[in-house]
């Protein structure tokens, strides 16, 4: 039996089309920009330079994580590494906020409530109506899921609880088997995972940021508890978000 892995790498996808207009994306399937693809390639070259190699990549079903993983692996010279995707690694579902920018959201619901929704842990934004075309029940990506699994809105806690079964049932067993993992996901999903790994309170979690385009190396003890993590430095020439 292989020894447990000593590390894994977490990576938030890069710049997407809706970043250009400051719109909340959530489960909307928006592609990367050229900048986002360049960020992924830069990170891949830096990971290879630092001596990292992967046995598997795990990402969401949204195309911005798939594009990120493919560009990163190509830059590492290892495009053959298998990519596994799951809806459980999707971004948090922002409900009625999806597709809106902050100015529109403040005008509709007020700044105080809006900031509680997107920075807090417990309170979800207003849900989508079941007949809203943005509802995931209309998206073929989720045709195989039970209706009860499809969110109309999620708090950060909801997103975390939806993600954690994949951590316990898929990622942890692979790490125990010695697999070297790259997890390419989204800001809130990775915040929820870091909160779980570091045993952070909801209050502390509100201050945690996961920057896009910078690999986080999570160091693991033999029992797979976290001993620390570090951001892999990226050259200044890398495109900025």
3-state helix, strand and coil shares in percent for the chain, rounded to the nearest 5: 45, 15, 45
91 is catalytic: yes
What distances in angstroms separate CA 224 from CA 122, 178, 183, one per listed residue? 28, 11, 16
The b-or-e profile of 178-197 (16+ CB within 10 A means b, else e) is ebbbbbbbbbbbbbbbbbbb
Q: Give me the catalytic one of 39, 70, 91, 154.
A: 91
13 is catalytic: yes
Phi-psi region of 31 (alpha: psi -120 to 50; beta: other; left: phi over 0): beta
HSE toward the beta carbon, residue 37, CA cutoff 13 A: 10
CA distance 162 to 92: 9
Q: Which two tokens stand for residue 61?
A: 């079903």
CA distance 12 to 212: 5
Q: Give me the catalytic one of 13, 58, 135, 186.
A: 13
Q: Which residues are catalytic?
A: 13, 91
């Amino acid at each position: 039996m292989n020894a447990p892995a000593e590390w894994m790498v977490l990576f938030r996808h890069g710049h997407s089309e809706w970043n250009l207009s400051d719109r909340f994306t959530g489960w909307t399937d928006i592609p990367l920009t050229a900048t986002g693809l360049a960020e992924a390639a830069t990170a891949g070259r830096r990971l290879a330079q630092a001596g990292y190699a992967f046995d598997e990549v795990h990402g969401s079903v949204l195309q911005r994580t798939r594009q990120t993983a493919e560009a990163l692996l190509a830059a590492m010279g290892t495009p053959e590494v298998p990519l596994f995707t799951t809806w459980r690694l999707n971004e948090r579902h922002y409900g009625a906020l999806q597709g809106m920018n902050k100015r529109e959201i403040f005008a509709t619901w007020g700044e105080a409530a809006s900031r509680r929704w997107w920075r807090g842990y417990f309170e979800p934004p207003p849900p989508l109506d079941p007949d809203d075309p943005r509802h995931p029940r209309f998206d073929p990506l989720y045709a195989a899921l039970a209706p009860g699994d499809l969110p109309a809105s999620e708090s950060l806690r909801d997103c975390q609880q939806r993600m954690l079964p994949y951590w316990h049932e898929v990622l942890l067993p692979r790490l125990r088997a010695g697999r070297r993992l790259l997890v390419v996901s989204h800001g809130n999903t990775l915040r929820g995972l870091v909160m779980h790994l570091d045993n952070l309170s909801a209050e502390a979690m509100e201050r945690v940021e996961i920057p896009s385009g910078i690999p986080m190396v999570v160091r693991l003890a033999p029992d797979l508890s976290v001993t620390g993590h570090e951001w892999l430095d990226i050259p200044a020439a890398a495109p900025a978000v």
